[in-house]
Amino acid sequence: MRPRAWCGVLAAVALSTTACGAGGGKAETTDDGAGAARAGFPVSVADCMGAKTTFDAPPKKIVTSNAAALELLMWLGAGDKVIGTGFPPGKGTLPQDMSDRAAKVPVLGKMVIPKEKLLGSGADLYIDSFSSMKNMGKAGDAPTAKEFETAGIKHVYLKSTACAAMGKSARTDLSGVEADIEELGKVTGTSARARELVQEMRKKTGAVRDALKDVPEDKRPSYFLFDYDASTKQPMAVCNRQVANGILTQAGARNVFADCDGDFKPVGWEDVVAKNPDWIQLAVRGRGSEEADRKAFDDAAEFLRNFPATKDLKAVQEGRFLRITSQRTTIGGVRSADTVREIAHTLYPDRVK
């Protein structure tokens, strides 16, 4: 069994995200003032604490904290503006055309981008998937607001992940992820493309909602997301502020740790056993190939079948496992809607095709 590494949870989750199709859409941006006004500028966005940042025109040079932000920009058609990233996409975790383009983006940090490198990158925008780089333990120090300002870098957040732990209510849908997409669209001058992406997501989740509308809450199956790579010694619960709670809820599942406020929380195996989930997601982190992923899923299932605390759980004995990587569930993005549909299809095969 591996020791728990809480600082590594965010880090490893951030290493890659997946997407089912090619990102596209040409950014409808222009350098002249009249064009900026036509594209909806100036625009203001708030950080996790409500502080506003105003853009008079689209950014020209963007650095992303991780692959999730990089992927979103590619979906929006603004990927060509990215001049560097942290947590680069893992092999095989993006569609081929996205992967080829992402491979050309300079890697400023295999994990957190060092402070000096970020401030000296020449970027005019940094998109942050974390509320603070201090969340990453000793991996790096976050620049101060003054340091960002001095370097000429505006700093915005993916709120569905960065601000999750600060939320005042449970996430039960993908509205936070959709808001991130729409906000990035406004900032980068790609609002039309953002609206298209959000409409397509809502079409998919709406179909699931309609298919399950007459299933009573207490009849919906309970569900445990087992983050195999976070720890086997002490499981990490996905709580009700985490984007995964919204995905599971929209898919018609009841997160067994939905009574936990926040995003993640270490729990004991006795807590999992007491919840006795109907289904367990083998949430391994993508290994870069179908064969490697298959082995990781098999290893996670084998652990649950042999571990004394879990081997007698009904879900384990009956093999009620979902093989979906953790990135697709705990990191919000365009493909979150596809994850909702995949989970719903597994739980309700007669209702969700």
Which pTM value belongs to this model? 0.87
Q: Is 136 left (phi over 0), alpha (psi -120 to 50) or beta?
A: alpha
Residues 164 and 232 in one domain: no
Reported as a single tens digit per residue, the pLDDT across 326-336 is: 989 998 999 99
Pick the closest to residue 190 from 33, 332, 32, 26 (CA basis).
26
Residue owning tokens 């990490």: 236
Q: pLDDT digits over 297-347, tens only?
A: 999 999 999 999 999 999 999 999 999 999 899 989 999 999 999 999 999
Widest CA span of the chain, in angstroms? 67
Domain of residue 181 covers 43-196
**Using 50, 70 and 90 to split pLDDT, how confident is the model at 167?**
confident
CATH number of the domain where residue 225 is located: 3.40.50.1980
- pLDDT: which is higher, 213 or 40: 213
CA distance 3 to 76: 39
21 occurs within a structural domain = no
| Residue predicted with more confidence, 237 or 135 | 237
Q: How far apart are alpha carbons 177 and 299 in whole angstroms?
A: 31
Q: What DSSP designation does 156 have? A: E
What DSSP element (H or E) covers 108? strand 107-109
Q: How far apart are CA 62 and CA 235, in angstroms?
A: 36
Last residue of a domain, one of 167, 196, 225: 196
| Helix 191-212 × helix 336-347 angle, to 10° | 10
Q: Are 124 and 166 found together in one domain?
A: yes
**Any idea which residue has 């569900």 for tokens?**
223
48-61, pLDDT tens digit by residue? 888 899 999 999 99
- Residue 201 within a domain: no
Tokens 């997601």 — which residue?
A: 281
- Which of the two residues, 353 and 347, has the higher pLDDT score? 347
Q: What is the pLDDT of residue 287?
A: 84
Task: Give the end-to-end CA distance of the chain in Å, rounded to a whole number.
Answer: 38
